[in-house]
Amino acid sequence: MAPLGLFFAGSPVWAEQCRLALALAMDISTSVDATEDALQRKGLAAALIAPEVQEAFFKSPLPVALAVYEWSGNFNQKLLLDWQMIETAADLVTAAHGIGLSERSANDSPTAMGHALAYGAKLMQRAPRCLFQTIDISGDGKNNDGYGPQIAYKHFPFENTTVNGLVINAADFEGEMDLIPFFQENVLHGPGAFLEIAAGFEDFERAMRRKLERELKGLELSAWQSGKVD
């Protein structure tokens, strides 16, 4: 395959401000109780400042733009962190601290995953100009309100956006047993999209650390740094 540098030669991509625009979406639907919600927020905050994740954030000279939002019903999406360019460890610590102290905006709403993805697509439209765009959606249940993910992918701009998933697979209810296939078949979108699985909310931090590392150290980014694709 041709070196990545040749692919981008003469392209305005070299004017981009950052290597990745990363939007993280947390599920706050009715199935997530207060304790589980706290485990998500504290887990994400801790994952962001874990040594291996910090290393991945700063492995390239180009920074990462980060945004975080929570989602549940049709009209229940709230921005927790607007686009922030993560250029230093202090930037990352500040972002993590704000997420850890945040409070959920709703606790009695259904699971409108298509609407959550549509919100993410619109958020990406005003993201900093980056080489890559990724939405990372976490959830403990399937879509049960409004339109589903496939409708969102059809009607909103996802052409240049990868969507990865984090399944919180507590499997407490019969309906959760097919949650992993649902994410695989309906949620993952774009080249290299992948699924990470947390064995319940207590495992959320570990799964998030693993997923962030993979997103930040992905093949495309490593190839860009070295100037070639194997």
Q: What is the pTM of this model?
A: 0.86
Phi-psi region of 200 (alpha: psi -120 to 50; beta: other; left: phi over 0): left
Structure tokens at 88: 């230093």
Structure tokens at 112: 């409108």
Asked if 137 contacts 163 with a C-beta cutoff of 8 angstroms, the reply is: yes
Per-residue pLDDT, averaged over 165-174, amounts to: 74
Q: What is the DSSP string of 65-86?
A: EEEEEEE-STT-EEEEEEEEEE
What pLDDT sits at residue 176?
A: 56
- The residue behind tokens 């004017």 is 15
What are the backbone angles phi and psi of residue 145, rounded to the nearest 5°?
Answer: -150, 135
- For 19, the enclosing helix (H) or strand (E) is strand 18-27
What percent of the chain clears pLDDT 70, i.e. is strictly above it?
85
Structure tokens at 59: 């492995």
What pLDDT sits at residue 145?
A: 86
What pLDDT sits at residue 105?
A: 81
* pLDDT beyond 90 at 177: no
What pLDDT sits at residue 96?
A: 97
Per-residue pLDDT, averaged over 100-129, amounts to: 91
What pLDDT sits at residue 185?
A: 95
Least confident of 16-20, 32-36, 181-185: 16-20
